[in-house]
Chains A and B, each alone.
Chain A
Amino acid sequence: MTDAQIEIQLIASLVAVACAIPGTFLVLRKMAMISDAISHSILPGLVVGFFLTQDLNSPWLILFAAITGVLTVVLVEKIQQTKLVKEDTAIGLVFPALFSIGVIMIAQYANDVHLDVDAVLLGELAFAPFDRVYYGDMDLGPKSLWVIGSILVLTLILLFAFFKELKMSTFDAGLATSLGFSPIVIHYGLMSVASVTTVGAFDAVGAILVVALMIAPAASAYLLTTNLKKMIGLACFFGVFSAISGYWMANILDASIAGSIATMLGLVFLMVYLFAPSKGFFAVLYREKQQRREVSLITFLLHLKNHIEIEERHVNHLNEHINWQKVRSKTILSLAQKNNMISISNDVVSLTEKGEEFTSKAIEYILTNEDSLIEDMKEDFFLFRG
């Protein structure tokens, strides 16, 4: 690997972590689309900042852009508070307006400057190593690395200092207020961090990838864990993994780095969505099948308990009596037999002692619907896994 390659991967990874942290809270607050809005509407802030400083490298640009980001959030909330439109509509109204103002300003006044719409949307990681910081003659590395590195350090400090406040006000803002914390301060703090991160990151990776890096890793992590700290950790991991693997994919395909990273983020989410152990597509499918079988089994056992007549319990007529297809009756029959719940003699099915006991418990549960009973049943029998 060349130095430039290492630097690009390092920048992409730092951006990924810096985005995943606020992204996790945005996802939990059901505000994912706000990141999209911020990433677009900071454009006029950048342009205004450039007019005032006449310097594309001025740190004031980041400040102006971040202020526009927070302004976007305020505008969305103000429109939403009128109760005339919902939040998603308010977002859809605000950011295209601000973004288009930025586009017009660039076209009118800044055509000769390196500040074009393509760069804003897509960024170009490949060029990041060329824009370097020097101290005297000493090369201190790419500028993006310093920018995003400082933002990441700031984000981490804030996260460690205010983790408990962030968690509480995200979960229960009412409690936070009543305990004397100000959820509004925390809300705008988070929005400011999201804005600053977006501004710092999009110079290197572009607005679209910023959104992808904020939302996709957090959304994937959300499907895998029930612990907030682990969720943040996993989101960071997914972000970094996609950043590095995306970089190499772009290298092999000779494609856009930002595009490849976003593609990897999408793939990671798809994999997690399909294979997550408890919330994933296949896990849910399996569980539903399992539950269907369990309910069928109970139905079948109840039928046996309710009927002493031999004709109701004959193996070959069971499907007619319970009105099931032959295959299903067979599966359930063998399931019950395997678990020693029934015995078959002369093709007539009877409940065993274990079957009797299980059925009585099931009836009791159905009648009372009490949690403790189902807990007992889970322990005593093979049923109700998961």
Chain B
Amino acid sequence: MKGKIAVKVDDLTVAYNYKPVLWDIDLQIPEGVLMAIVGPNGAGKSTLIKAILGIIKPIAGSVSIFGKAYTSHRKHVAYVPQKGSVDWDFPTTALDVVMMGTYGSLGWIRRPSTKEKKSALEALEKVGMLSFKNRQISQLSGGQQQRIFLARALVQDASIYFMDEPFQGVDATTEVAIINILKELRKAGKTVIVVHHDLQTVPEYFDWVTFLNVKKIATGPVKEIFNDDNLTKTYGINYKVSIQK
């Protein structure tokens, strides 16, 4: 394992109406990895991220970020929710949505100034969306909306990024653009954790992987643990993948 532990999850259990969605999860994510969380539908992948971020309250267990409680490290953590989690008809522009990423460092009441606007514009440029800055968000394509969400996370200048299915419903060009940005983040020493669906691309995109299906099946470097055995344990069927490593 490399250096420090970025995220440590201990005995985490989450239940909706007494039905466990995550059961006794222990997980250590080292700093500086680009990690995929994979598992079938209903495996609790999104729930795991939301529980780590405190959006969902677990019934047991604890989470620490760089050895401390999440609340004292909020500013180091950025979150990209699923695109479908918000109302894109909301009356606002692309730039304004990206600016929301700066609200965390501003805290209550203080208004964003030109400094925040400047960093929002830079983030828009990074994701190739600068020319759309004044576009109303409902007039963006699915891939463009995803990039706006990514820009909003970038503007937080965090150390750890959580992303919930950033590749869902985006075209091939956007997928490449997004993965390139994620790889750049890793190069800059950031930790990136992505809920991911497409098993084919795991070895190509990620260096670390966690198999999840209500319980944690395995976690570690893609090279060592991304194999038929773990896939079968996670997906329940005899999984014979012809994935080139």
Q: Is B130 an interface residue (CB 8 A)?
A: no
The answer to whether A175 touches B81 (Cβ under 8 A) is: yes
The answer to whether B100 touches A168 (Cβ under 8 A) is: yes
Roughly how many angstroms separate A181 CA and B100 CA in the complex, as a whole number?
12
The answer to whether B91 touches A178 (Cβ under 8 A) is: no
Given contacts A83-B17, A178-B55, A180-B74, contact A171 B81 (CB under 8 A): no
The answer to whether A181 touches B103 (Cβ under 8 A) is: yes
Min Cβ gap A364→B in Å is 15
The answer to whether B85 touches A227 (Cβ under 8 A) is: no
The answer to whether A172 touches B103 (Cβ under 8 A) is: no
Q: What is the total number of residues of chain A having a CB less than 8 Å from a CB of chain B?
A: 29
The answer to whether B100 touches A171 (Cβ under 8 A) is: yes
Q: Is B181 an interface residue (CB 8 A)?
A: no
Given contacts A177-B55, A371-B141, contact A161 B74 (CB under 8 A): no
4 closest A-B pairs by beta carbon, nearest first, are: A179-B104, A226-B136, A178-B79, A180-B74
A222-233 Cβ-contact flags toward B at 8 Å (1 or 0): 100111101100
Given contacts A164-B103, A172-B81, A180-B104, contact A222 B86 (CB under 8 A): no
The answer to whether A161 touches B109 (Cβ under 8 A) is: yes
The answer to whether A174 touches B50 (Cβ under 8 A) is: yes
Q: Is B42 an interface residue (CB 8 A)?
A: no
Min Cβ gap A170→B in Å is 7
- The residues of A that contact B104 with a CB separation of less than 8 Å are 178-181
Q: What is the total number of residues of chain B having a CB less than 8 Å from a CB of chain A?
A: 35
The answer to whether A177 touches B53 (Cβ under 8 A) is: yes
Roughly how many angstroms separate A162 CA and B110 CA in the complex, as a whole number?
9
The answer to whether A167 touches B17 (Cβ under 8 A) is: no
Roughly how many angstroms separate A164 CA and B107 CA in the complex, as a whole number?
10
Min Cβ gap B137→A in Å is 8
A-B contact number at CB 8 A: 80
Roughly how many angstroms separate A226 CA and B103 CA in the complex, as a whole number?
21
- The residues of B that contact A181 with a CB separation of less than 8 Å are 103-104, 108
* B window 132-176: CB within 8 A of A: 136, 138, 141, 143-144, 152, 171, 173
Min Cβ gap B138→A in Å is 8
Q: Is B71 an interface residue (CB 8 A)?
A: yes
* A window 170-204: CB within 8 A of B: 170-172, 174-175, 177-181
The answer to whether B87 touches A174 (Cβ under 8 A) is: no
Q: Is B61 an interface residue (CB 8 A)?
A: no
The answer to whether A174 touches B91 (Cβ under 8 A) is: no
Q: Is A28 an interface residue (CB 8 A)?
A: yes
* B window 68-114: CB within 8 A of A: 71, 74, 77, 79, 81, 85-87, 90-93, 97, 100, 103-104, 106-109, 111-112
The answer to whether B92 touches A177 (Cβ under 8 A) is: no
The answer to whether A178 touches B100 (Cβ under 8 A) is: no
- Which chain A residue lies CB-closest to B153? A175
- The residues of B that contact A312 with a CB separation of less than 8 Å are none
The answer to whether A174 touches B90 (Cβ under 8 A) is: no
The answer to whether B91 touches A168 (Cβ under 8 A) is: no
The answer to whether B92 touches A175 (Cβ under 8 A) is: no
Q: Is B40 an interface residue (CB 8 A)?
A: no
The answer to whether B86 touches A178 (Cβ under 8 A) is: no
- Which chain B residue lies CB-closest to A177? B55
Partner of B79, one of A28, A175, A222: A175
Q: Is A124 an interface residue (CB 8 A)?
A: no
The answer to whether B92 touches A162 (Cβ under 8 A) is: no
Q: Is B20 an interface residue (CB 8 A)?
A: no
- The residues of A that contact B144 with a CB separation of less than 8 Å are 371
Partner of A231, one of B87, B91, B112, B138: B91
Given contacts A162-B109, A180-B71, A227-B92, contact A174 B85 (CB under 8 A): yes
The answer to whether A179 touches B17 (Cβ under 8 A) is: no
Roughly how many angstroms separate A180 CA and B76 CA in the complex, as a whole number?
12
- A-B contacts, 6 of them at CB < 8 A, read A28-B91, A172-B86, A174-B85, A180-B74, A226-B92, A370-B171
Q: Is A165 an interface residue (CB 8 A)?
A: yes
Q: Is B67 an interface residue (CB 8 A)?
A: no
The answer to whether B86 touches A168 (Cβ under 8 A) is: no
Q: Is B54 an interface residue (CB 8 A)?
A: yes
B48-69 Cβ-contact flags toward A at 8 Å (1 or 0): 0010011100000000000000
The answer to whether A178 touches B93 (Cβ under 8 A) is: no
Min Cβ gap A26→B in Å is 14
Interface centre among A83, A162, A227, A230 (most CB of B within 10 A): A227
The answer to whether A226 touches B55 (Cβ under 8 A) is: no
> Could you list 9 further interchain pairs (A-B, Cβ under 8 angstroms) beyond the known A164-B111, A170-B90, A371-B141?
A83-B17, A171-B90, A174-B79, A177-B53, A178-B77, A225-B91, A226-B92, A226-B138, A370-B173
Given contacts A178-B54, A180-B104, A226-B136, contact A171 B93 (CB under 8 A): no
- Which chain A residue lies CB-closest to B137? A226
- The residues of B that contact A177 with a CB separation of less than 8 Å are 53-55
* A window 208-261: CB within 8 A of B: 222, 225-228, 230-231
- The residues of A that contact B85 with a CB separation of less than 8 Å are 172, 174
Roughly how many angstroms separate A179 CA and B87 CA in the complex, as a whole number?
19
- The residues of A that contact B108 with a CB separation of less than 8 Å are 162, 165, 181
Given contacts A171-B100, A175-B79, contact A227 B91 (CB under 8 A): yes
